[in-house]
Amino acid sequence: MSKNRNSDVTFSATERVNEDLPTPLYHQIYVLLREKVVSGDYAEGTLIPSEHELEKIFNVSRITAKRALDELAADGLVARQRGRGTVVTFSAPVPSKSAESMDGLLENLLTIVLETQVTIHEFDYVAAPPRAAEALEVPPSTKVQRAIRVRHKDDTPFSYVETYVPEDIGRSFKKEEMENQPLLALLERAGVKISRARQSITATLADGKTASMLSVNVGSPLLKVTRVVIDSNDRPVEFITVLYRPDLYQMNMTLSRVEGEDSNFWKTEH
Amino acid sequence: MSKNRNSDVTFSATERVNEDLPTPLYHQIYVLLREKVVSGDYAEGTLIPSEHELEKIFNVSRITAKRALDELAADGLVARQRGRGTVVTFSAPVPSKSAESMDGLLENLLTIVLETQVTIHEFDYVAAPPRAAEALEVPPSTKVQRAIRVRHKDDTPFSYVETYVPEDIGRSFKKEEMENQPLLALLERAGVKISRARQSITATLADGKTASMLSVNVGSPLLKVTRVVIDSNDRPVEFITVLYRPDLYQMNMTLSRVEGEDSNFWKTEH
DNA sequence: CACTATTTGTCCGTATGTATG
DNA sequence: TCATACATACGGACAAATAGT
């Protein structure tokens, strides 16, 4: 029995990479292994599956398995030693747990604003793409302000933010002001009374553009949050899409059980 | 000038394909185009960029551009006609507004329980893996109950659920009972007074085990929710990890602005 | 009606990358 | 390391359908 071989985290016996996908097999395996390393499933110091084990697990040739491990080593995530195996040399960062979570997104929003810097990559007025037009409840191709920003924490990109604002509101502030102030503050300065927001959370993959802007590989998982902010007249005033690097940010929230209910109701605490 | 050629939607300068990536160029272009079609950026009936235009936009050969378009046609998203061009034949669905979003997770939990079926794939008592031990605040390798379930909606797998419960609580119910009743109900029947829960949301990739259980490709994005449920004595009584298919489920919530604050505070509505 | 520009369909030869045994 | 098979990507060539002048 191999000593210290990682046994808590295993691939199931039926593990298969998709032969039909155009992406090379070695790269599919590399991506899966990398994900387990950077997420901490394979902790620092543990031995990950050997070439021969990967051969059996994924039903590929040894060269293919070897190449996947070599790419990991080239990334500096693991070290390979003849006769010993492949050992994880990367310590997975602990996701910012924001010790006392108050209200989901919100307390995070404050700390994020304080601890990060924004760079603006695009700022212009364009015909609203269908989803933005629908969210803002304007006719398709209405001109709207679009901004693409990236948040950095200590020079590490952290989130990719795409916002759409109706033109009349957008004209009330300048590109440079978006660097220093939250968009919501700019909206309120423009006389907008913010009332509520609808928010949706999902997962997606990094494409070429977002991958390069977030300094992750294409195909990495990203946490995607879309939000429509609505003012006191029930008018949508902002449509925002945020992509977060899951290794740097997770959404945390605390839920409280509603007393006296026998179904599965909770309410969020604040 | 070609008539009806889609001109509102262009590729930004940063939207490039990456020669260094192992993923084939034609597939990278195909993915970008497909996204624009299914999102509605390229509306039904419009002409999308010709092979020659893609050639210039992405700086690839005609064969590569042609193959990307052919894949789109094979998907039935576009129709190609010699002398005419490539026309979108797919009508992008209007995103459902989920008119009655109440309290994030909550209203969803109820409807999910009502509209889905559960199959139990594993049910046993094991030494707690590190993260489960930490979450349940028990010494490492303490014996705990582990269950792996998959929720289906109309025979389509929907979520992958892994739960850890302290042994003394777990012994109070049987495997079969997990199929019919929510775990929280079983915990309360065992005398547990549920008080609150800490929840964390992130994104990850499907590995072989979860991919096959959720009927998605390895490497697909998944929405990952981990939750620790705590009783009125501040004892953790359940550690749960849920993986959702993002195409079948998104977390929706409504947020309200807190009056009188000048910072970025919100509270969730209920 | 022909003429032209555009666009897709099909084919060639060649070089490189991927994966197997 | 080698031989082999297949996929990817390039540049180029010609044919056939479409639309506008």
Q: What local confidence, expressed as pLDDT, does residue A126 receive?
A: 93
A165 three-state secondary structure: strand
Q: What local confidence, expressed as pLDDT, does residue A100 receive?
A: 36
Q: Name the nucleotide with the smallest C1'–CA separation from B23.
A: D8
Q: What is the largest CA-CA distance in chain A?
A: 70
Half-sphere exposure (Cβ direction) of B62: Cα atoms closer than 13 Å: 3
**A197–chain B Cβ distance below 8 A for any pair:** yes
Contacts of B196 in chain A (CB under 8 A): 254-257, 269
Q: What local confidence, expressed as pLDDT, does residue B94 receive?
A: 54
Q: Is the pLDDT of residue A266 over 60?
A: no
Nearest CA in chain A to B265: A106
The residue with greater pLDDT, A233 or A8, is A233
The pTM of the whole model exceeds 0.85: no
pLDDT level of residue A262 (50, 70, 90 thresholds):
very low
Q: What local confidence, expressed as pLDDT, does residue A41 receive?
A: 80
Q: Is B22's CB less than 7 Å from nucleic acid strand D?
A: no
Which residues 159-188 in chain A show a CB within 8 A of chain B?
182, 184
| A86/chain B closest Cα distance in angstroms | 20
Q: What local confidence, expressed as pLDDT, does residue B21 receive?
A: 74
Q: What local confidence, expressed as pLDDT, does residue A268 receive?
A: 45
Q: What local confidence, expressed as pLDDT, does residue B98 receive?
A: 40
Q: Name the nucleotide with the smallest C1'–CA separation from B2.
A: C6
| B69/chain A closest Cα distance in angstroms | 15
Which two three-digit tokens encode residue B129?
Answer: 């893996």
Which two three-digit tokens encode residue A245?
Answer: 């690097």
Q: Is B61's CB less than 7 Å from nucleic acid strand D?
A: yes
Nearest CA in chain B to A226: B252
Alpha-carbon distance of B136 to A117, in angstroms, equals: 36
> Which bases of strand D have any atom within 7 Å of the beta carbon of a protein residue?
1-2, 7-13, 15-20
Among A254, A239, A36, residue whose Cα is nearest residue B95: A239
Flag residues of chain B having pLDDT under 70. Answer: 1-20, 93-111, 257-270
Q: How many residues does chain B have?
A: 270
| B53/chain A closest Cα distance in angstroms | 19
Q: What local confidence, expressed as pLDDT, does residue B103 receive?
A: 37
Q: What local confidence, expressed as pLDDT, does residue A198 receive?
A: 86
Contacts of B71 in chain A (CB under 8 A): none
Alpha-carbon distance of B99 to B252, in angstroms, equals: 11
pLDDT, tens only, A135-185: 999 998 899 999 999 999 888 898 999 999 999 999 999 999 998 888 888
Q: What local confidence, expressed as pLDDT, does residue A124 receive?
A: 95
Which two three-digit tokens encode residue B192?
Answer: 């547990």
Q: What local confidence, expressed as pLDDT, does residue B19 receive?
A: 66
Å between B115 CA and C2 C1'?
A: 66
Alpha-carbon distance of B263 to B43, in angstroms, equals: 40
Place of tokens 């950095």: A152
Q: What local confidence, expressed as pLDDT, does residue B222 receive?
A: 93
Cβ neighbours for B28, distance < 8 A, ≥ 6 positions apart? A208, A218, B17, B18, B21
**B6–chain A Cβ distance below 8 A for any pair:** no
Q: Name the nucleotide with the smallest C1'–CA separation from B49.
A: C7
Q: What local confidence, expressed as pLDDT, does residue A110 receive?
A: 62
Among A179, A168, A181, residue whose Cα is nearest residue A231: A168
Q: What is the largest CA-CA distance in chain B?
A: 76
Domain layout of chain A by residue ranges: 1-92, 102-255
CB B153 within 8 A of CB B248: yes
Q: What is the topology classification, in CATH, of domain B1-92? A: Arc Repressor Mutant, subunit A (1.10.10)
Alpha-carbon distance of B166 to B138, in angstroms, equals: 9
CB contact under 8 A, A218 and B23: yes
Contacts of A103 in chain B (CB under 8 A): 265-268
Number of H helices, E strands in chain A: 9, 11
| Burial class of residue A204 in the structure, from the number of CB atoms within 10 Å of its CB (0-12 exposed, 13-18 middle, 19+ buried) | middle
Q: Which residues pair with A197 in a beta bridge?
A: A229, B255
User: At B217, phi and psi to the nearest 5?
Assistant: -75, 150
Å between B80 CA and D16 C1'?
A: 14
CATH superfamily placement of domain B102-255:
Chorismate lyase-like (3.40.1410.10)
Per mean pLDDT, which range of A123-132, A134-143, A208-217, A234-243 is the poorest?
A: A208-217
Nearest to A253 among B28, B199, B221 (CB): B199
pLDDT, tens only, A71-122: 898 888 999 888 788 999 988 765 444 433 333 344 456 666 777 889 999 9
pLDDT, tens only, A243-260: 999 988 888 877 776 544
Which residues 19-58 in chain B show a CB within 8 A of chain A?
21-24, 26-28, 31-32, 35, 39-41, 43
Where are the strands (E) in A1-113, listed by range?
47-48, 78-81, 85-88
